[in-house]
Structure 1
Amino acid sequence: MKFSATVTLILGICASIKAAKTRPNIVFIFTDDQDLRHGSLETQRAVQRHLAAKGTTFTNHYSTVAVCCPSRVSLMRGQAAHNTNNTAIRAPGGGYPKFVASAENENYLPHWLSKADYNAEYIGKLFNGNSLLNYSPGPLGWRHIDVLLEPYINTHNTVVMSENGARPKHYSGFQQTDVIRIKALERLRLLIDEENPFFLMISPTAPHVQNLYDPPAPPARYYGLFNDTTVPRTPNFNPPQKYQKGKPSWLRDLAPLNSTQIDEIDLLYQRRLESLRGVDDIVDDVVEMLEKRGIIDNTYIIYSTDQGYHLGTHRHSGKSLPYLEDSNIPLVVRGPGVPQGVISRTPSTVTDFAPTFLEIAGLAPELHPPFFDGASLLTAWKHPNTPALAKKKEAINVEYWGSAYTEIPTWSSGDYGVYFPGVYLDNDYKTMRVVGEKSSWMYSRWCTNDTELYNTTDDPYELKNLANLTDPHTRRVKSRLNALLMVTKSCTKSTCRDPWSIIQPPSPRHGKRVETLHDALDPHYDAFYEAFPLVTIDECMNYQFAANEGPFFPPSAQFELGLEYRNSTDNFAYATADPIETIAENSPLAGGWEQRQATYETLVKAARVLTDREINNPS
């Protein structure tokens, strides 16, 4: 009996090891502020060759909040920003210290992957606010994390990182994307040799601007590669006044771009494309290692970004707006069961990543967190053009709290809501997008009481604001989208995944449930949907305050907003990381061809620990 029990135990252990080795690995390459609508993805030869040609490109993937830290927190928690309460890049709205204070750092993606026996590791930019003031202890949950630190996160030519909460190091003579590539490859090499499957997230800051508004410093080997390239002159690039006057808030008062601003926008575009060539090197090297080690066919490689970016559209450059350039973002997926060379219009958002990764990892559903607003995309990745899946995801909520700001240095602004040139205070909004098979729309309500409505099927550049039209069809669309936005602006869990479920007309036509905008547009439902009050933001407060954002539907939603699953962080504040001594940028620009194949050992030799004066904040 003992012998039989021992054999059974050994067989069970062997089966467990075999199962661990056969579960897919995940490599997630995640850029910062990468555009989709200006065509940057098409310039990336490695992304096109290794990922798009070998996998599926999803053209209707969205960020639900168009700014870095809130979008990243939504990704890591699988929740909308109104439920994480991380709504900006710094206090009081958000940032890494607020993520910690809310206790959300104790219950997010790496913790859940660890439950599935995945080795979860991270290299690069995690959140705004990871800094010289709070590097220790390192962000919780990751088996290994090597994170970029403020105030150098966006300084591509000065690289300061902390490994697992250790004292920060400066990597002299190296460009940031190269450092992240070299470190990621070293971790990938170690992960491949281990028994457990792995999740490795690689997150360079490229193509984010350097500091506040300077173009990113690409690897020197690519500097000037796109000098003859200009931003596509789409119809919404520097549009005429007949369209601009229909914009909301501060946007309607923007003057036409002058020749200097247009030149600077083109320069920024060129440097962004050059910086993405450094990211292409990451893609090349990751794929090469996975192929050489024979595990490429059992590895999902996902390529995406936190939110989009606009360059000259609607007379502005930067992010933080509800338009397609800022919310519609790249997503390319390669992996087991994912069709090759396919383009899919199935909608998805950043909140869907966490549940997708947990399904890939095989984590038992009862171990999933109860607060997911997103849903797994794995079936859609494997069956990317299934109409039923697309219909289920057609309603997309986009929200924003906080200032808008330009990222062009010579910007001269008007007087609307400005406290210094290029920064605009009146920028809080709630947006409903419907990306349907038969039609697509965008509807926004602003804190200035402005309303926007665009038929994005007929008007993909979002130029003709239809909000003031009074014809029956436009009124009908607006009432349905307003009711839908009333739900999604404060939805949670299942109501985020199926917002139509709680705005069902009392007398359904032919006994058919309303599941899409097309269903809801039946004139029989006019009285029901027109009874909903307008979505309203009372004041432009630049941060989330429930009493400022009523009414709510259902009314109980105002008391939820994710509070059951996080600590309250009212009146949150934290210091900025301003060291006594700052570290100078590399001179000349780092990242020449001699560093393209630089080894991890070479990188380690170039590193030095920061001094006390380089870490300390005088305040």
Structure 2
Amino acid sequence: MSAVGFNFQRKITNMKIMSLLSLMMVSLQILCNIAYANVKPNILFVLVDDQNNETLGYTGHPIIKTPNIDRLAEKGVLFKNAFVTTSICMASRASIFTGLTQRTLNYRPRDPLGTTRITDKNLLASFPILLREAGYRTGYYGKNHVHYQNGNQFAFDLMFDEWEHLTLGMKELPNGTTRHSDELIGDRSVEFLRSQPEEQPFFLFMSMTIAHAQDRNLSPGMGHYPWPKAVDGMYEDVEPLRPRLDDPAVFESLPDFLKGSLNRSRYFWRWDTPEKYSVNMRAYYRMLTGMDGIVGRVLEELEKQGLRENTIVIYTADNGYYMGNRGFAGKWSHFEESMRVPLIIQDPRQSISQRGKIEQSFALNLDLPSTFLDLAGLNVPETYQGQSLTPFLSGSRPDDWRTFFFWEHHQFQDIIPAWSGIREERYAYAGYDRMDPPFEFLHDLQRDPDQLKNFADDPEYAEILLRLRQRTAAAIKQYQN
């Protein structure tokens, strides 16, 4: 063979080798992509206590600093219209575990006849058990306010590989030092991540005790809201904002049964004088900023362990909070301050175009367990009453997405009146049907976004009132256990 022929043949051979290598590289990339697509994502769930949707920096609060949560919203999806279906810690948390409404669970905390408990049937369909059965390592640290048929230890041993219940307050450690309960939640969460097996996905539930009150004065100048030491002195030179609905006329316009409810009696515990208000509101601000720092520690640990890029972070609260609005404390009743909560989902796998999105569709605490399972690639039980929020992470809104939802609160003696109703995009209805006579609220949120006027007796709204009554009756029939 001539030199020219030899060189030509060598070029052909080299081209074949390069083509083969290129093909191998492409194939390898495809396999890697397939493998990555099949990797189960980790999920970090942060559930805060007693926080309405207005108390984050990202949602517009001019004083409270929450930089870590704000960054989650900047890189994820903020659900602007997120609600709980029952505004009380215990029932809301029970719904999050089971995907069922308070009415279906027949879950009435502190019932005079004995605390209602989640049945074994509903426990076995709870999302942590299904995740664990699918190979997830599950961890839970913090507040528990839910009760189970065969005891809490039995239930949590089934649901979680590692767990520890922590109640609100400063905890004395064996070495004589003290740490806030949520700092301990952060410590346990960091330890959980440091011991995470490389090939196993995890679900980590940070069940924060912040920002619930301790219903007694802690010490002079501290009020009812114990904060982590890291934020000592913060906001001391800030004059807290007065409640937006602070006019006494707002309270005076309410029916007598609400004026005499727990919403009002607890107002006198912490909000009724300028001194109490300033002390407690500054403490509440500190709690949320302290919580934000603790979440930031855990997010930083995810980075250190190389887990951040495959960990979805979900942040929300178990119910809203009045903080003096309408002359009220607590939650429990049907107004927006009680029912609306922050909700952020940040998935590092999202396209850049979807990051920082503000979603207007209704999202519920009832949707969370369906979302957890869907993110993990698991089937959602047909018994669950919520819907997965995952379509919104890719910028799509399902055609059949809800345009209204059922909400309720069961009676607790006479201090928390029972009610049930329907929330639509424009109208909100609540029927306090155990009053004598029954009392109805109908709010037109377009004409009156602060719910200062009750349109239930307005003839112009008769057809709307009838429609919402009928929808409420149908929902009660649907969800009744």
TM-score normalised by L of structure 1: 0.63
2:350 maps to which of 337, 342, 347 = 337
1:179 maps to which of 171, 175, 184 = 184
Q: Which residue of 1 aligns with 2:51?
A: 34
Alignment of 1:505-524 (within 5 A): none
Q: Which residue of 1 aligns with 2:464?
A: 477
Offset from partner CA, 1:259-296 (integer Å, 9 cap, x none): 84354234322212211222112221222222233332
Q: Which residue of 1 aligns with 2:428?
A: 442
Q: Does 1:82 align with 2:82?
A: no
Whichever of the two has the greater Rg, that structure is 2
1:201 maps to which of 201, 205, 211 = 205
CA distance in 2, matches of 1:265, 1:403: 27
The count of residues paired between Structure 1 and Structure 2 equals 429
* Unmatched segments (≥5 aa) in structure 2: 1-30, 218-222
Give yes or no for contact 2:143–2:209 (8 Å, CA) kept in 1: yes
2:423 maps to which of 420, 425, 433 = 433
Give yes or no for contact 2:98–2:123 (8 Å, CA) kept in 1: no
Q: Which residue of 1 aligns with 2:282?
A: 270
Give yes or no for contact 1:248–1:450 (8 Å, CA) kept in 2: no
Alignment of 1:80-229 (within 5 A): 80-88=101-109, 92=113, 94=115, 98-99=117-118, 103-128=121-146, 136-137=153-154, 139-148=156-165, 153-154=167-168, 156-158=169-171, 173-191=178-196, 193-211=197-215, 215-227=224-236, 228-229=238-239
Query: Closer, same or farther in 2 for the Cα pair 1:128/1:369, shift >3 Å?
Result: closer
CA drift of 1:181 comes to 0.3
Q: Which residue of 1 aligns with 2:76?
A: 55
After the TM superposition, which of the residue ranges 276-285 and 55-64 deviates more from structure 2?
276-285
2:363 maps to which of 334, 348, 363 = 348
CA distance in 2, matches of 1:54, 1:315: 37
Query: Closer, same or farther in 2 for the Cα pair 1:88/1:137, shift >3 Å?
Result: closer
Q: Does 1:397 align with 2:428?
A: no
Give yes or no for contact 2:110–2:412 (8 Å, CA) kept in 1: no
Query: Closer, same or farther in 2 for the Cα pair 1:38/1:301, shift >3 Å?
Result: closer
CA distance in 1, matches of 2:152, 2:429: 41
Query: Closer, same or farther in 2 for the Cα pair 1:375/1:403, shift >3 Å?
Result: same
Q: Which residue of 2 aligns with 1:571?
A: none
CA drift of 1:232 comes to 4.3
SS at match of 2:326: coil
Offset from partner CA, 1:505-536 (integer Å, 9 cap, x none): xxxxxxxxxxxxxxxxxxxxxxxxxxxxxxxx
Give yes or no for contact 1:246–1:465 (8 Å, CA) kept in 2: no
Richer in helix (by share): 2
CA drift of 1:205 comes to 0.3
SS at match of 2:361: coil
CA drift of 1:402 comes to 3.0
CA distance in 1, matches of 2:256, 2:289: 36
Structure 2 counterpart of 1:458, one-letter code:
R
* Unmatched segments (≥5 aa) in structure 1: 1-13, 161-168, 405-416, 418-423, 493-560, 563-619
Q: Considering only aligned residues, what root-mean-square deviation do their CA atoms show, in Å? A: 3.2
1:453 maps to which of 429, 442, 456 = 442
CA distance in 1, matches of 2:209, 2:111: 17
CA distance in 2, matches of 1:72, 1:204: 12
CA drift of 1:330 comes to 0.6
Q: Which residue of 1 aligns with 2:473?
A: 486
CA distance in 2, matches of 1:457, 1:34: 24
CA drift of 1:135 comes to 6.2
SS at match of 2:138: strand
Q: Which residue of 2 aligns with 1:281?
A: 293
Give yes or no for contact 1:247–1:452 (8 Å, CA) kept in 2: no
Structure 1 counterpart of 2:430, one-letter code:
S
Offset from partner CA, 1:137-186 (integer Å, 9 cap, x none): 4614334232325xxx23x11379xxxxxxxx999522111111011011
Query: Closer, same or farther in 2 for the Cα pair 1:135/1:212, shift >3 Å?
Result: farther
SS at match of 2:44: strand
Q: Which residue of 1 aligns with 2:20?
A: none
